[in-house]
Each structure stands twice: as structure tokens, then as C-alpha cells.
Copies of this chain bind each other. A is one copy, B any other.
Amino acid sequence: MLKYQHIAAEIEKYIQEHALQQGDKLPVLDELMVQFGVSKSTIIKSLELLEERGVIFQVRGSGIFVRRHGRKGYISLLKNQGFTRDLDHFPITSQVLELSVGKPTREAAANLNISTEQDVYYVKRVRYIYEQTLCVEESYYNKAIVTYLNNEIVSDSIFDYIREGLGLKIGFSDSYLHVGKLEEEEAGHLGLNKGDPKLEVETIFHLANGQPFDFSRITYNYIQSQFFIQANGHGM
């Protein structure tokens, strides 16, 4: 982690610990420099990062302000490590339905940018929040990259293992969302009825070097899940 990223994390922690709310003003630049003991250019980079991440907004000539959605229990669609972090205060558990090595479907191979002859780990699990079903997840991991998985790992956080156990640097993800109706099998896993609404999210996760390593499809229980997205002005 680079220095400005570390300072950004410190500022975010400061905001949380002081329970600052949307619109609350942060100390001015000079004070932040002193408070965190870093140069002006580092603080500026940290603030730019926090602005991109939707933690603060800066108003020229006016100051630095906290940006903070006020709704609890929402899953961020921008943090691509899954929802464990957003739902920090909620107990998330997993039931592994399948863990196997085999050949990918044509669709998975295309999304992982490999041939259908290469091996993948296939993981299917149901995830629970407060003992309610949150989602059903199917994932294909390129075995040439994610070289090892076992039942213990996939019962817990696979991404923590990929980062810490395998030492891989996770980069970015592309997600595709569709709303539809539950098939009978999905409905069974989620404890809902066939034909009930579903949100399906397909994601391709890439390493920092751009290689796709995981193609996953998550089907959410529409009653248990709600999502938020913070956007900034760049797209406008």
C-alpha cells in the first residue's frame, strides 16, 4: 500500500471513529498535513482518492466535506471483494454445495479468457445472513492462477485466501446485472418460490495485471438484499 493510500485509510478511519455525517466539514489541508505528519502533495493525493471512492467531496474555496450514505445494511456494488466488508456487523455464513475441479462451461471459459480444455475450480455455495439465505453463488476459478482450494477455504472468504494465502494482487472487476424470475432449483436454495423476482450479478474478477481469474454468478434473495452505489461527477 502506498503512503497516500495508507493516509486515505487513516482519514476514513478518523471519519468513522468520530461518527462524522454527510456534510460535516473536515479539518483544512494544513491541519490534515500536521495531523497525519505528511507532505501537502501526499494529503492532496489521499483526498483525491477518497473523493473517487465517495468518502468525501471537496468544494473549491469552501472545504472538504464528509460524504456518507445514511442507510445501514446495504451492500455496496462497488467493493468487489464481495459483501463481507459492507455487512461487517452482520454474521455471514456459507454452505458449500459443491467444490470440484473440471472443465469450464463455454460461457465461463470465454469470460475467463481460457479454452474449455483448461481446468477450473467450480464452487457452488449458499450464503446466509442471520440464518436467512442471502444468495446462491456459482464461481469458476482459473486453476492456473488459483492453484488450490479446499472445503475449509471455500466455507470462509475465498478472496482473503487468494490475497493472503496465494499472495495474488486482485485488481478490478466488471459486473453485469439482470433482474428476472427464479428457476425452481434457485428458489429451493433461497427458500423462495419459483417465479419470484431475482437479482443476478455476473462478475469477472481480474488480477492487478489484468488477467481474469474468477467468473461468478450470484443470485440474490430479493427480500434479504439491498444495494447502494455512490457515483461521482466524472461520468457526467
Contacts and interface: CB of A to CB of B under 8 A. Distances in A.
A153 interface: no
Number of copies of this protein chain within its complex: 2
A229 B77 contact: yes
Contact of A78 (B178, B209, B235): B235
B179 A234 contact: no
How many A residues are at the interface, by size bracket?
35 or more
Interface of A: 5, 23, 48-49, 52-54, 57, 59, 62, 65, 67, 69, 71, 74, 76-81, 85, 159, 163, 169-181, 196-199, 206, 208-210, 220, 222, 225-236
B62 A209 contact: yes
Nearest to A85: B235
B176 A226 contact: yes
Contact of A80 (B48, B209, B235): B235
A176 B235 contact: no
Contacts of A169: 233
A180 to B, nearest CB: 6
A210 B65 contact: yes
A81 B179 contact: no
22 contacts: A52-B234, A53-B234, A57-B208, A67-B172, A69-B174, A77-B229, A77-B231, A78-B229, A78-B235, A159-B236, A171-B232, A171-B233, A174-B229, A174-B230, A175-B231, A176-B226, A177-B226, A177-B228, A177-B229, A179-B197, A179-B222, A181-B196
Contacts of A78: 78, 229, 231, 235
A210 B23 contact: yes
Nearest to A68: B174
A11 to B, nearest CB: 13
